[in-house]
Structure 1
Amino acid sequence: MQFTLTYEGRLRSNAKPADKHALRRHFHQQLSTLWELNPLSKYRDWVQVPPAEGEFSIIKSVHGFSFAPLVCEKLCAVAELEVDLLWPQSPGSIIVSGGDIDNRLKTLFDALKIPSEPSALPKGTVPLEGEQPFFCLLEDDSLISRVTVNTDRLLEPEADPSVVKLLLRVKTRNLGDQWKQLP
């Protein structure tokens, strides 16, 4: 399966849990729409909250949230990511100003996955209306099998060097015959 997620706003290096969860909520909305479309709409019963007893489910309850990761070990799936990142600096300046690229990507990858420890969420955070289940791309960022990053200058005047425009092309791959075995 292939699709594109988008984002426009701050993408900080070494972001705080609140910044990462704001990104996570942004992508949740797009992934929620994706689950309404074919082919995923055929598998909506996999993301029922609470899961029906005895039925297959990809729901993972963590820190008061019922996460529904599209790429997860239960589905023997991995993701290949192509990131197009535009910011208001010249293409090479991401290394010197505005935060280094590896830490910005770490922020992005953390926002795409289920938070692994309670401190990864802002204190007191609870699911909002429409966040049951809470859709995310990855169960864990170890399920990313390939990353390509393209950077370029954002040709709009912007004072904050942490503001970016991002296109995230996702290609999921199944590593086994798991899909054939599922209902």
Structure 2
Amino acid sequence: MEFRLHYRGQLKSDSNKSSKWEHKHQIRQHIHKQMKELWQQKPLKDYQCLLVGKDDETPPRFLRPIKKFIFVPLVNERINLVTELKITLLRPEEPGFIVTQCGDLDNRLKTLLDALRMPKEEEMPKDSMPGEDENPFFCLLEDDNLVTRLAVETDRLLEPVEDTSEVELLIHVHTKVTRATMDNISFGI
């Protein structure tokens, strides 16, 4: 399965310790809206049964409770999925400036990958509660270890920005099945 996610906003370096979990969660909330819409379209629309258990003893295949949230990671180990990501990152800096005033590229990508996956319990922002449309909370990855290939292309963002950490991202997602089952046959196409 192939699709694209989009993000426009701040992308701070992971080394920025102040409020890093909040920043990652804000990006995650932006991605959630797109992932929720994706689950309303084919082929995922035909797999709504994976969001509920078959009976009281069979847990749902996708739901992952963390604190007060119920996460739905599309790419997850239970259904034997991995993914390849191709990221186009537009930033308000000259081409070639890998280390910038906003943090080096690898730390900014670490922030993005953390935001694409469901958080660990200790990574949830303090006192966070799901919003009205965030139950369940849709995300791309169960764990960033499920990314098997990562390609990044950077270029200049040719629009005025208020903050130099602002970026525009286009994330091309290609899911792959590692072991075919009845539950995942459409996810690897």
TM-score, scaled to structure 2:
0.89
The AA in structure 1 aligned to 2:150 is V
Deviations 1:1-48, CA, capped at 9 Å, x for gaps: 000000001000025111000000000000000000000000112124
Structure 1: gaps (5+ residues)? none
Assess, with a 3 A threshold, how the Cα gap between structure 1 residues 55 and 24 changes in structure 2: closer, same or farther: same
Aligned with 2:90 (options 80, 86, 91):
86
- 1:121 CA drift (Å): 1.5
Match of 1:67 among 47, 52, 71: 71
Aligned positions of 1:7-156 closer than 5 A: 7-14=7-14, 16-48=20-52, 52-53=55-56, 54=58, 56-118=60-122, 120-156=123-159
Q: Provide, for residues 141-167 of structure 1, a one-character-per-residue CA deviation record: whole Å limited to 9, x for no partner.
A: 000000000000011122421000000
TM-score by length of structure 1 reads 0.92
Distance 2:119 2:131 in 1: 16
Shift of 1:115: 0.6
SS at structure 2 position matched to 1:93 = coil
Residue segments in structure 2 that go unaligned for 5+ positions in a row:
none
Q: CA-atom RMSD, angstroms?
A: 1.8
Structure 1 runs (4+) greater than 6 angstroms displaced:
none
1:62–1:180 distance in 2 versus 1, CA, 3 Å: closer
SS in 2 for 1:104: helix
Count of residues in Structure 1 that have an aligned counterpart in Structure 2 = 180
Deviation sequence 1:102-147 (CA, Å, 0-9, x none): 01100000001111132x1111001111111110000000000000
1:58 is displaced (CA, Å) by 1.1
Structure with greater helix share of residues: 1
55-64 vs 34-43, greater mean Cα deviation: 55-64
